[in-house]
Amino acid sequence: MLFSRRLMFGLAMASSLAATLAGALAVPAMAEGPTEIDLFFPVPVDGKLARDMGTLIKEFNDGHPDIKATAVYTGSYDDTLIKTRAAIKAGKPPSAVIMSANFLLDMQIENELTNLDALIKADGTTKEQFLGQFFPALQGNAVINRSVYGVPFHNSTPLLYINADKAKEVGLDPSKPPQTWAELTDWAKKLTKREGDKVTQWGIAIPCAYDYCGWMMETLTMSNGGRYYNEEFGGEVYYDTPSMLGALTWWNDLVYKHKVHAPGATPGPAVSTSFISGNAAMMMLSTGSLTYVRDNAKFNYKVAFIPRNVRNAVPIGGASLIIPAGLEAGKQKAAWTLIKWMTSPEKSAWWSRATGYFAPNMAAYKTPEMVDFLNKNPDAKTAVEQLDVAKPWFATYKTVPVRKNLEDEVMLVLNGKKQPKEALVAAQKAADETLKPYNADTSLKLP
């Protein structure tokens, strides 16, 4: 037994020495090889994003032999945040991440982001010149305390999708889509079909699942003249307000008073499937679903601005590219090269055509390919035109829990278990509790 243990120890030492020598011999080869970086990316909406991302990264690698980028699918936006934070905590941050644009404030508060100002300056340009490439509406979610922390990549606004064939069947003119909530309610009534007590076609479908539900509530609240949160400070949300109560009451009325919207909280993919199958004649959904609709609809369709009650206003959605904190200099430099390449006019335009997201780089719309594409697909212009009334996306300390504080209550309303006022009072109370630590350290911390 003693002999065996000595033998085993000797073998282990020999193996360790061999590994060390092999590693030492491998050092020159590794030093000469490309800088390997990974890009975390989510697939939050319909489309062929995973395949498209593979195409994009292959083209980058072919043109940059000194860098080898690998795209790593990380699930939903919420999942991507969780996995990114876990990697940072483990000391192995990804080199770049396509991060939900409204998560940046929370990550900056937690010191999880690389400030991009120095990288921009090293390129010989200014922050103003760099940001000037992108639509102004997108900059609110990319700049924090006058420093750049994110680069707009695939962004969206919510749109109203209309089955034009079904609209014509009931005497509605799809070239003149509803402009107001009152008109939309009237359209939804006319487009809802029933056989006895059974509904065979819903007039309107609006998604409500984690992430999407909060975005749609912000959409309706803005359209009702309100604000969702304090754009200047990460410790306040306005859930228990008249404008949000009106928004949730209207959504609840579509379900239980007018009976033109299916009861229950429906995820985004189920809403798009319902629209494509003809089960719903209209839907509110991200422009990120536009390519999916274009490729799969067997009917004529139209897209339009989100109707207003008080004003036309929508939140920005989608994602920005970020570099997490804690990355070594070589990988940081390579990640910055990848980010600039992905957000260039040509690649921004290509990604927009492939996915349905609008291109955040304004020069993308001047490329010959994009001009030709828009001439053939004028529906892709609507989200860009709607940017004139777009505002930053909700962002606070603990963005996801604060958002879920509201979404949990909205789901109870749509499931018929609470009334809007009761739900919003509970949501405000829960959110205030979630935000309490940040407020104690900032706005309530007195000298």
pLDDT digits (tens, 9 = 90+) for 332-363: 999 999 999 999 999 999 999 988 889 999 99
Query: How many angstroms from the chain centroid is the CA of residue 241?
Result: 25
The mean pLDDT of the chain is: 92
The larger pLDDT score, comparing residue 14 to residue 308, is at 308
The larger pLDDT score, comparing residue 123 to residue 30, is at 123
Six token digits for residue 76:
């939903």
Q: Is the pTM of this model over 0.75?
A: yes
Tell me which residue of 317, 326, 332, 392 sits closest to 116, measured CA to CA: 332
What is the strand order of the sheet 151-156 is part of? 67-73, 35-41, 96-100, 317-322, 151-156
List pLDDT tens digits, range 392-443. Answer: 999 999 999 999 999 999 999 999 999 999 999 999 999 999 999 999 999 9
Q: CA-CA distance, 226 to 340, in Å (whole number)?
A: 35
The pLDDT of residue 356: 85
List pLDDT tens digits, range 1-22. Answer: 333 333 333 334 344 434 433 4
Q: pLDDT grade, residue 26 (50/70/90)?
A: very low
**Cβ-proximal residues to 25 (8 Å cutoff; 6+ apart), any chain:** none
Rounded to a whole number, what is the largest CA-CA distance in the chain? Answer: 93
The conformation of residue 42, written as its DSSP 8-state character, comes to -
Q: Is 115 exposed, middle or buried (0-12, 13-18, 19+ CB in 10 A)?
A: middle
* CB neighbour burial string for 125-134, b if at least 16 within 10 angstroms, e if fewer: eeeeebbebb
Sequence-ordered alpha helix ranges (H) in 134-206: 164-169, 181-191
Provide the residue count of the chain: 447
The pLDDT of residue 43: 67
Q: Is the pLDDT of residue 49 over 90?
A: no
Instruction: Say if residues 41 and 74 touch (Cβ distance below 8 Å).
Output: yes
Q: Could you give phi then psi for residue 99, rounded to 5 degrees?
A: -110, 140
Instruction: Say if residues 76 and 115 touch (Cβ distance below 8 Å).
Output: no
Name the one residue in this structure whose structure tokens are 């990120």. Answer: 288
